[in-house]
Structure 1
Amino acid sequence: MTDNLIFMDPFPRNEAMVYTPYCAAALADMGRVVAHWGSRAPDDLVEAHLAVMTILIGQTAMPKERLDRAPNLRAILNVKANWEDNIDYSECHARGIQVLSAAPAMAPAVAEFCLAQAITLLRELHLADPLFRAGREAYGVAGNGSAKCLYGAEVAMIGYGNLGRALAPLLRPFGVRLMVHDPWLSDGFLRSEGLEPVSLETALSGSDVLFLLAGVTSDNEGFLGRPLLETIRDDATVVLASRAGIVEFNDFLALAGAGAFRAAVDVYPEEPVPDDSQIRTTPNVLFSAHLAGGLHASYARIREMMLDDIGQILKGLPPLRMQKADPKLAAKMRSR
């Protein structure tokens, strides 16, 4: 046991996700653990431990005033896999406090899900099943009248972060033209990744398959409104996989429902979606309930990355596994 205090406030994550017996034992070897479950830790519990806190695991609010009262804090590990606006990222950076996100742990499962959604839409598998059950199926080419193939398709990704980096290797074996629009990344970097940098207009109008992977920031919330959405290639396959906030959601569903393009949606402006929401009655859309990343394998990766990086930090070494916050960019994020 060391003098390090590891404070766990990981809501909405629960013990099964981030505090299995193995994980608990590993953390206990690194320091004294104080954990709160079922809600975000109450202020009095946080304040009682600020002075001796070494590692914070969770999404606890840490403005400058709290950081002033946490002289021993060395790292904040967000295991919800996004950046919240309740941390003073610039102050953490100035003090050498590592702020990390578990987002890379979720990316493989989400990327796999995106590929499955795209192929399902292209091959119209979601339509074939009910036809078969109703005895209205057609066999072979007769049943593939409007089906499409991913092989050799023109594919675009809007956003090339953790998810894009996980998805690109899954797409390459299909021999696709792989285009990316990401205003935060240079054309030279994208080319070094084997990608074709393109304008937003080209990504929307020039792709057979379009993956919407960007995070939501204070600069881009709702930037894909109807005028831009209407430029998407007719009958393209569109997968909304990152955050619903990057599109004008009602316009997106109206166009997809009218058959302007094929769409798969796994994220929503409000979750859970209300039972009486009109979203549920939208035709021609493949819906799922934010299922892409929430697998046991994803949480196992979170635990593994978390333990690795806490070990590094307590040794005075840089973290290697989780994503480091860029103060300017993290402060702009509006993901929920």
Structure 2
Amino acid sequence: MTPLLLEHLDDFAGLARVRIHTDWTDDEDALADRMAGARVAMSTGFRAPASLLARIAPDVRCITFCGTGAVSFIDLEAARRCGITVCNAVHYGDNAVAEHAIALMFELTHRVGELNARTHAGGWPSADIAELGGRTLGLVGFGGIGRRVARLARGLGMRLLVWDRRPDGAALAELGATRAERMEDVFAGADVVSLHLALNDGTRGIIGPRHLDLIRPGGMLVNTARAELIAPGAMLERLRRGDILAAVDVTDPEPLPDDDPLRALPNLVITPHVAWRSDRALRALVEQNVRSATAFLRGKRYQVIV
């Protein structure tokens, strides 16, 4: 993201000097040293627990987070106690994540990546594939990304079944989607379940074994939202039964340890949290974070969540 940030240096003219660190570290001492004397810190995903926030609070008064899920990286309650403003970015990658969700569905059905790897390895492997058209896609969450996934899926000829606490009725009608009264109805009634909820105290672990047990044999689960939406261990235990498929772009923890049992599952496709990293999304992400930082320096507010 550094080249994109460099394009915006003039935005800080007369407001602040900009110090950029291009090498990654998650060491708390190093992070505290790097932010010493800074009024605003732009985060590209470092962890900010209460201990780090307390150390930087005398100087840092605002953190801009490069993403939507700040709660996964920053102790927001500790930031509030320390008087540190936290800003995030929204809707910057709706289309990128939605396309990746569809790509994961295609991998589960058409197996392009798997067949490419097998063919490059030698021989002429044979395999059956499946189609998405005519299947029912169940969406858990119907925000910006969920609605974009729905539009793409409808173009593929999929039926739509949607659960959301406050669904957009106009969007449901426009897309010809059916509203599910309960989240359980989506898991029981869809051929493919795709998760698109934001992670917060109300959604952490909201999906448990009883939901995953409702997925019919041959069904598929896709998660490009947050791994923590699913109760710890529940997806692993369901997939070990071997009768469903899953594809995820998110894990808990991240990075996923090399010896994590999820890596050994043949019915699971894993990508390393890259769904949001398109060229267009990265540009929009940097633009929002620069706007948040410069607004704070001017005594204004933009995308403030704490």
Instruction: Give me the TM-score of the superposition, normalised by structure 2.
Output: 0.75
Give the aligned partner of residue 261 of structure 2: 278
1:112 Cα deviation after fit: 1.2
Give the aligned partner of residue 252 of structure 1: 235
Give the aligned partner of residue 32 of structure 1: 17
Distance, in Å, in 2 between the alignment partners of 1:221 and 1:154 is 26
Distance, in Å, in 1 between the alignment partners of 2:158 and 2:169 is 15
Which of 56, 69, 80 does residue 82 from structure 1 map onto?
69
Which of 106, 110, 114 does residue 119 from structure 1 map onto?
106
Which of 199, 208, 216 does residue 216 from structure 1 map onto?
199
1:268 Cα deviation after fit: 1.5
Which of 85, 91, 97 does residue 104 from structure 1 map onto?
91
Give the aligned partner of residue 193 of structure 1: 171
Change (3 A) 1:223 1:61: closer
**CA RMSD after TM alignment:** 3.7
Distance, in Å, in 1 between the alignment partners of 2:148 and 2:63 is 24
Range that drifts further, 260-269 or 39-48: 39-48
Change (3 A) 1:307 1:207: same
Change (3 A) 1:43 1:66: closer
Query: 1:158, 1:203 within 8 Å by CA — same for their partners in 2?
Result: yes
Which SS does the other structure have where 1:210 is aligned? strand
Residue identity matched to 1:100: C
2:163 aligned with 1:181, yes or no? yes
Give the aligned partner of residue 135 of structure 2: 153
Query: 2:107, 2:113 within 8 Å by CA — same for their partners in 1?
Result: yes
| Structural mapping, 1:1-12, within 5 Å | none
Count of residues in correspondence between the two structures: 288
Query: 1:244, 1:268 within 8 Å by CA — same for their partners in 2?
Result: yes
Distance, in Å, in 1 between the alignment partners of 2:273 and 2:110 is 22
Which SS does the other structure have where 1:306 is aligned? helix
1:203 Cα deviation after fit: 1.0
Distance, in Å, in 2 between the alignment partners of 1:137 and 1:277 is 30
Give the aligned partner of residue 226 of structure 2: 243
Range that drifts further, 173-182 or 261-270: 173-182
Give the aligned partner of residue 291 of structure 1: 274
Query: 2:79, 2:86 within 8 Å by CA — same for their partners in 1?
Result: no
Q: Which runs of 5+ in 2 are unaligned?
A: none
Give the aligned partner of residue 2 of structure 2: 16
Query: 1:234, 1:261 within 8 Å by CA — same for their partners in 2?
Result: yes
Distance, in Å, in 2 between the alignment partners of 1:202 and 1:148 is 23
Which SS does the other structure have where 1:234 is aligned? coil
Query: 2:69, 2:199 within 8 Å by CA — same for their partners in 1?
Result: no
**Residues 156-209 of structure 1: CA distance to partner in whole angstroms, max 9, x if unpaired?**
1112344324423322322433232223xx24xx21222543111111111112
Give the aligned partner of residue 150 of structure 2: 168
Which SS does the other structure have where 1:193 is aligned? helix
**Residues 234-267 of structure 1: CA distance to partner in whole angstroms, max 9, x if unpaired?**
2122112111112235331343343322211222
Distance, in Å, in 2 between the alignment partners of 1:232 and 1:244 is 18
> Percent identity between the aligned chains?
23
Change (3 A) 1:99 1:162: farther
| Structural mapping, 1:63-74, within 5 Å | none
Residue identity matched to 1:107: D
Which of 229, 233, 243 does residue 212 from structure 2 map onto?
229
Distance, in Å, in 1 between the alignment partners of 2:147 and 2:56 is 33
Which SS does the other structure have where 1:32 is aligned? coil
Residue identity matched to 1:104: H
Change (3 A) 1:56 1:136: closer
Give 1 or 2 for the bigger CA radius of gyration: 1
